[in-house]
């Protein structure tokens, strides 16, 4: 790595760990806090989760933030905003208080994730970017495990305000560190400060949308299936998530190297074929062991999503990367708006329908993946 790449890598590593600590801490605490402290019922908790996705859907607005701030400065301030939202969460035990702090937290998280993707693709070469992205995702997995262990150890000793404050305060400190850094390289091509939608990026947009839809089915319905149908306990579900994060920690650096060796098309094909298998198994298995194994395989396969990001890097003009990342992040979150509601409605008729729909989306993704062409995968004319 050059000096500028090393500075940017350290900056993104610290900021990514901060982002994951904040989000994982919030996700772990918010349901219990909402029920026990804020007195929220299932409907209002569902509203909170839907509201949480609104900043992700609007993440393309980060383009206009870049009119007044550099990308690394906007990323650092996003981490500060995330930490502030988490720290305040335990102080307002009411529905509107939870909504307010959720919007603050989620805006910081989603804007950082958009900028993180953009900076990673700009500062690292086509060969280096998959490896760097894999290492950052591995660091995220370790951060998630550490937060889970911390909350487990302190839950009986500290109240919700202290737990939220401790986690949010740690994120704020890392955000303050990031604000004081300048890892930018002034020789980098300037990014377009406007929304960019290009017809030649249509395949990236389509794969991004389908990836977001599949992720929602995993997050909402796969875990619900394990709890409702197979009666997994809280302890069992916690253990599965720990295993998923351990697998992600080991797998992500390997996936980065595999992208360089085999190319995006091959790894996307593996991911989407696995998705078809997983969703069909969810729909028809009667074995709680097999369903749990599919839950782990599903989580492992989703780590291949980094292929979509490196595909964008290889096909996009350099000034398009930041605005295209923002647009892609918004497209990814379109599914978060309607998939949980539509899938929940279909579940009332037959629980298999959401998973069969997921298998169908996996098949469409597999077909689209065969159209992927990058400079190293395009036959010479």
Contact (CB, 8 A) for 164 and 90: yes
Low-confidence ranges of the chain (pLDDT < 70): 1, 42-43, 45-46, 186-196, 234-235, 238, 322, 336-337, 340-341, 375-381
- pLDDT recorded at residue 235: 66
The Cα 71–Cα 64 span in angstroms is 11
Helices 306-315, 128-154: axis angle to 10 degrees equals: 150
Q: Minimal CA–CA distance to 20: which of 128, 121, 109, 87?
A: 109
Full DSSP string of 311-368: HHHHHS-GGGHHHHHHHHHHHHHHHHHHHHHHHHHHHTT-THHHHHHHHHHHHHHHHH
Q: Minimal CA–CA distance to 263: which of 364, 379, 141?
A: 379
- pLDDT recorded at residue 381: 31
Per DSSP, the chain holds a count of helices (H) and strands (E) of 16, 0
- pLDDT recorded at residue 380: 36
The Cα 206–Cα 79 span in angstroms is 29
- pLDDT recorded at residue 286: 93
- pLDDT recorded at residue 168: 95
> What would the pLDDT profile of 321-367 be if each residue is shown by its tens digit?
767 777 777 787 777 667 766 777 788 888 899 899 999 999 999 99
Domains of the chain: 1-188 (1.20.1250.20), 192-374 (1.20.1250.20)
> What would the pLDDT profile of 98-108 be if each residue is shown by its tens digit?
999 999 999 99
Distances from the Cα of 161 to the Cα of 31, 91, 93, 106, angstroms: 14, 6, 10, 19
Contact (CB, 8 A) for 256 and 364: no
- pLDDT recorded at residue 225: 84
- pLDDT recorded at residue 66: 75
Burial class (CB within 10 angstroms; exposed 0-12, middle 13-18, buried 19+) of 367: exposed
Sorted by sequence, the CB contacts under 8 Å of residue 354 that are 6+ apart come out as: 217, 221, 343, 346, 347
């Amino acid at each position: 790595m050059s000096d500028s790449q090393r500075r940017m890598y350290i900056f993104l590593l610290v900021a990514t760990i901060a982002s994951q600590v904040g989000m994982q801490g919030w996700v772990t605490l918010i349901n219990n806090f909402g029920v026990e402290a804020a007195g929220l019922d299932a409907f209002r908790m569902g509203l909170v989760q839907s509201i949480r996705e609104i900043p992700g859907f609007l993440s393309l607005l980060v383009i206009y933030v870049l009119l007044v701030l550099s990308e690394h400065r906007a990323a650092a301030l996003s981490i500060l905003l995330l930490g502030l939202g988490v720290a305040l969460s335990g102080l307002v035990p009411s529905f509107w208080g939870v909504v307010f702090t959720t919007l603050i937290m989620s805006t910081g998280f989603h804007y950082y994730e958009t900028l993180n993707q953009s900076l990673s693709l700009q500062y690292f070469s086509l060969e280096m970017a998959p490896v760097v992205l894999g290492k950052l995702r591995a660091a995220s997995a370790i951060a998630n495990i550490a937060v889970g262990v911390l909350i487990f150890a302190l839950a009986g000793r500290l109240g919700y305000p202290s737990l939220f404050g401790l986690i949010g305060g740690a994120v704020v400190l890392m955000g303050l560190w990031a604000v004081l850094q300048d890892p930018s390289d002034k020789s980098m091509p300037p990014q377009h400060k406007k929304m960019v939608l290009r017809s030649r990026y249509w395949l990236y947009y389509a794969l991004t949308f389908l990836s977001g839809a599949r992720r929602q089915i995993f997050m909402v319905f796969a875990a619900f299936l394990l709890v409702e149908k197979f009666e997994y306990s809280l302890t069992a579900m916690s253990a599965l998530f720990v295993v998923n994060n351990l697998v992600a920690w080991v797998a992500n650096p390997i996936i980065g190297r595999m992208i360089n060796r085999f190319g995006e098309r091959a790894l996307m094909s593996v991911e989407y074929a696995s998705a078809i298998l997983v969703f069909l198994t969810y729909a028809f298995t009667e074995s709680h062991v097999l369903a749990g194994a599919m839950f782990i395989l599903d989580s492992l396969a989703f780590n291949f999503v980094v292929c979509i990001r490196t595909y964008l890097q290889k096909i996009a003009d350099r000034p398009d990367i930041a605005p295209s990342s923002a647009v892609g992040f918004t497209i990814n979150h379109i599914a978060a708006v309607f998939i949980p509601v539509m899938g929940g409605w279909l579940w009332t008729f037959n629980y298999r329908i959401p998973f069969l729909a997921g298998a169908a989306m996996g098949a469409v993704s597999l077909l689209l993946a065969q159209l992927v062409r990058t400079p190293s995968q395009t036959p010479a004319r």
